[in-house]
């Protein structure tokens, strides 16, 4: 199994990303770190504890990280994920605790202590990861690769040009994309193919477990906001796509490309500019996701939730 750490801001799709990582035998989840994004870091950390509690995930350390982006003000996505950041289901009182140390320290400790290089899977603004690479540059060699959910080869969602995770902290994203660490970007152009249709919901309900029911309720809430805000018929489950890419690279087809993060544009700040056709003549700095095996993806996600729910 590939050792990974998820850096997240749960968040409905982050919650499923954690479950996929904990429930699929293809990866070993070493830690969960949290950051401000979809909600404040206090709320995203509480939500990570809630998810681990309801999914029976124990022995995976959780640590809270940065409370705001490197430079700009935090603007949460309560319009998408609700006041709690994880609106919809009722969660039991969390029994899984968070560590006292900062996420960046936990990342550093796990990366340096693990016998083999570890894959980082950021599914949130890249503040913690940028801080890690800036404070501990020597740790880059301990990172096998960074497989992130963020950006797009096409249009954005937070603004017409920019995707939420990148737009929330463009300076952090810029540091990560220019770090030289092997990088894979799973953007909206593929995650918008991971649609939670009524058939998918029925599969979660059909598991007949509390966890399956919780997932169906999460997706029902997510569906309502995606319908209201963007007119989506079915909501896209972004973050688990990055985990799926690590589990089985064949599920997410990628091409090499040069990617720059726009920091200045009046209307385009936070956009990922992806040179798919090599017009700039610059060496590629990322693998960019361009295709998703949606059926294979859902089999893995439902399979993981089934395994966790039985335990």
Cβ closest to ligand BDR, residue 33 vs residue 38: 38
Residues 6 or more apart from 125 whose CB is under 8 A from it? 9, 35, 36, 37, 69, 165, 166, 168, 169, 172, 173
Q: Report in angstroms how near the CB of residue 157 gets to ligand BDR at its nearest.
A: 5
Residue 123 contacts Ca ion per CB under 5 A? yes
Residues 6 or more apart from 190 whose CB is under 8 A from it? 241, 252, 289, 290, 291, 292
Q: Report in angstroms how near the CB of residue 108 gets to ligand BDR at its nearest.
A: 23
Indicate if the alpha-carbon torsion angle 29, 52, 80, 171 is positive or negative. Answer: negative
Q: Closest Cα partner for 183 from 290, 275, 286, 288?
A: 286
Q: Are 133 and 175 in contact (CB under 8 A)?
A: yes
Q: Which of 7, 14, 169, 174 binds Ca ion (CB under 5 A)?
A: 14
Cβ closest to ligand BDR, residue 108 vs residue 238: 238
Residue 80 contacts Ca ion per CB under 5 A? no
Task: Scan for tokens 């999460």, then name that residue.
Answer: 218
CA dihedral 302, 149, 222, 85 (to 10 degrees): 110
174, interface contact from Ca ion, ligand BDR, none, CB < 5-8 Å by kind? none
Cβ closest to ligand BDR, residue 163 vs residue 174: 163
Q: Reduced to 3 states, what is the DSSP secondary structure of residue 78?
A: helix
Q: Which residues bind ligand BDR (CB under 6 A)?
A: 11, 13-14, 38, 77, 80, 123-124, 149, 157, 163-165, 238-239
DSSP state of 236: B
Residue 77 contacts Ca ion per CB under 5 A? no
Q: Report in angstroms how near the CB of residue 8 gets to ligand BDR at its nearest.
A: 8
**Segment 190 to 249, residues that bind Ca ion, using CB under 5 A:** 239
Q: Which of 3, 6, 11, 162 binds Ca ion (CB under 5 A)?
A: 11
# of chain residues touching Ca ion (CB under 5 A): 6
Active-site positions? 238
Q: Which residues pair with 62 in a beta bridge?
A: 32
The contact set with Ca ion (CB under 5 A) reads: 9, 11, 14, 123-124, 239
């Amino acid at each position: 199994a590939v050792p990974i750490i998820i850096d997240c801001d749960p968040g409905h799709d982050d919650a499923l990303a954690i479950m996929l990582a904990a429930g699929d035998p293809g990866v070993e989840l070493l830690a969960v770190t949290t950051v401000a994004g979809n909600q404040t870091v206090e709320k995203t950390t509480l939500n990570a504890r809630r998810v681990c509690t309801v999914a029976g995930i124990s022995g995976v350390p959780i640590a809270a990280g940065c409370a705001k982006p490197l430079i700009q003000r935090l603007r949460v996505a309560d319009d998408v994920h609700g006041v709690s950041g994880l609106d919809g289901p009722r969660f039991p009182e969390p029994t899984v605790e968070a560590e006292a140390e900062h996420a960046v320290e936990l990342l550093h400790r796990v990366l340096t202590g693990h016998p083999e290089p570890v894959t980082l899977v950021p599914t949130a603004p890249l503040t913690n990861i940028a801080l890690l690479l800036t404070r501990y540059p020597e740790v880059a060699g301990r990172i096998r690769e960074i497989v992130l959910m963020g950006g797009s080869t096409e249009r954005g969602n937070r603004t017409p040009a920019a995707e939420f995770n990148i737009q929330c902290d463009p300076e952090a994203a810029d540091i990560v994309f220019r770090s030289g660490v092997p990088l894979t970007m799973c953007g909206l152009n593929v995650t918008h193919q991971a649609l939670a249709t009524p058939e998918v919901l029925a599969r979660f309900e059909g598991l007949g477990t509390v966890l399956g029911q919780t997932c169906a309720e999460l997706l029902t809430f997510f569906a309502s906001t995606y319908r209201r805000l963007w007119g989506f018929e079915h909501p896209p489950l972004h973050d688990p796509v990055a985990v799926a890419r690590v589990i089985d690279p064949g599920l997410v087809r990628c091409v090499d490309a040069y990617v720059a993060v726009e920091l200045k544009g009046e209307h385009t700040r936070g956009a990922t500019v992806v040179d798919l056709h090599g017009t700039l003549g610059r060496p590629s700095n990322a693998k960019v996701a361009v295709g998703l095996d949606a059926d294979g993806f859902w089999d893995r996600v439902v399979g993981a939730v089934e395994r966790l729910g039985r335990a």
